[in-house]
Amino acid sequence: MNVLVINSGSSSIKYQLIDMTTEKSLCSGLVERIGEGMGKLTHKIKPDTDAEEKIVLEQAFANHVEGMKKVVDLITDAEKGVIADKGEIYAVGHRVLLGGEEIKQSVQIDEWAKGIIRDYIPLGPLHNPANLAGIEVAEELFPHAPSVGVFDTEFHQTMPKKAYLYPLPYDLYKTLRIRRYGFHGTSHRYITKKTAQFLDKPLDQLNIITCHLGNGCSMAAVKNGQCVDTTMGITPLEGLMMGTRCGDIDPALVPFLMEKKGWSGAEIDNVMNKQSGLKGICGMNDMRDIHAAREKGDEMAELAFQMFVYRIRKYIGSFAVVVGKLDAIVFTAGIGENDDFLRAAVCKDMDILGIDIDETVNAKRSGQARHIGKPGQRVPVLVVPTNEELEIAQTTVAVLNGKN
């Protein structure tokens, strides 16, 4: 039984075909620059294995349907294909950004669900229309396969009102649905389930802080297996410092910048989302480049790194109080899984939580969940690799079996 996972962006489609009996990826890829002069399709057969094979095509894709048609050709190719025909795709799981308060759980896509995704376009202006485009592509190309929407906001639906409301006039919440929704929920949920298995603890008794540190960064406070707070808000801009996003700032800066720089709302949005964070401080947003520069004595790279670490530490402190007692602090995503130097810096001098990193195990590379703390520490520290595509595929099957 194969599930196709689609993450559709405004000019791109990320996809992965997963065999649910083995939970292994048959192929994955990315169609980029859709609707532009020259597009690009990168297709990987048996990705992340010794047998990985890569095919790169450069050609124009007029729209999402054209891009996906080419993907179908590759997937079903007589020589290099991984399935014989489209009929072998059992279902399509879609990553959807924002389902608001109406969609509390993943759902099989129907006209009602599409209407809600459409309703939330004002709050997710880049992602929700693109996600809808992906759904429409699947409906056209795979009419036999049901589509399921798996929402980034879903895991955070258990946040209490005191955590998700902004202290703004309450009427703004009632009329414009202004509140904190949280994002990266698929990853936080996957990590929570994996951590419960790894620690051999019932999910409903698990108390952890999850740190998803990639290009985008967010953390979740998980109490009894449920999210009680998270760092992102009404958009994925709130919270931690990120690659190019500023995270928490004083909101009074917005009118101040409008007045002093003459910037429009859209210009400020662009600065805060695309020109800030690590990039805003040192001009680089890939942590590997920042380390290389730090090691050569680049002071701004060092400052950007220190700021990034400091803000994670601040949220660990506040989420530890929110959760009350901790079974683990968990690192995941590109930086969280690969950057032992950053993990050590985040966990340094945290006697208040009884954390002590073991430098040797922390430095080891592995694709498996693992402890990186010294034995006997009060709060264990773990690295748990995330797999959002597998989580979407598993949820898709669960929804269709009525078990989500």
- Residues in contact with ligand AMP by CB under 6 A are 214-215, 243, 286-288, 333-335, 338-339
Give the residue with the Cβ less far from ligand AMP, 132 or 333. Answer: 333
**Shortest distance, position 253 Cβ to ligand AMP, whole Å:** 26
Strand stretches in 173-297, DSSP E: 208-213, 217-223, 226-230
Give the residue with the Cβ less far from ligand AMP, 236 or 380. Answer: 236
Show the tokens assigned to 298. 């680049």
Q: Give the residue carrying structure tokens 């202004």.
A: 178
**Shortest distance, position 266 Cβ to ligand AMP, whole Å:** 25
Q: Give the residue carrying structure tokens 């955070």.
A: 156
**Shortest distance, position 242 Cβ to ligand AMP, whole Å:** 9
Count how many residues are written for the chain: 404
Give the residue with the Cβ less far from ligand AMP, 124 or 334. Answer: 334
Give the residue with the Cβ less far from ligand AMP, 229 or 340. Answer: 340
Q: Which of 110, 152, 204, 349 is catalytic?
A: 152
Conformation bin of residue 258: beta by default, left when phi > 0, alpha when psi is -120 to 50: alpha
Residue 32 β-bridge partners: 40
**Shortest distance, position 399 Cβ to ligand AMP, whole Å:** 25
CA separation for the pair 42, 32 (Å, rounded) = 8
**Shortest distance, position 187 Cβ to ligand AMP, whole Å:** 9
Question: Cα 14 to chain center, whole Å?
Answer: 13
**Shortest distance, position 22 Cβ to ligand AMP, whole Å:** 24
**Shortest distance, position 111 Cβ to ligand AMP, whole Å:** 33
Question: Cα 12 to chain center, whole Å?
Answer: 16
CA separation for the pair 4, 150 (Å, rounded) = 13
**Shortest distance, position 59 Cβ to ligand AMP, whole Å:** 26
CA separation for the pair 247, 239 (Å, rounded) = 5
Q: Known catalytic residue: 152?
A: yes
End-to-end CA distance of the chain: 18
Give the residue with the Cβ less far from ligand AMP, 174 or 365. Answer: 365
Residue whose C-alpha is closest to residue 320's, from 341, 351, 343: 351
Give the residue with the Cβ less far from ligand AMP, 208 or 342. Answer: 342
- How many CB atoms lie under 10 A from the CB of residue 13? 23
Q: Which DSSP string do the residues of 154-203 spell out, in sequence order?
A: GGGGG--HHHH--SS-HHHHHHH--S---S-HHHHHHHHHHHHHHHT--G
Q: Which residue is nearest to ligand AMP, using beta carbons? A: 334
Give the residue with the Cβ less far from ligand AMP, 179 or 279. Answer: 279
Our CA dihedral for 61, 66, 68, 74, rounded to 10 degrees, sits at -80
DSSP 153: T
Give the residue with the Cβ less far from ligand AMP, 287 or 293. Answer: 287
Are the C-beta atoms of residues 345 and 295 closer than 8 Å to each other?
Answer: no
Are the C-beta atoms of residues 402 and 351 closer than 8 Å to each other?
Answer: no
Conformation bin of residue 110: beta by default, left when phi > 0, alpha when psi is -120 to 50: beta
Catalytic residues: 152
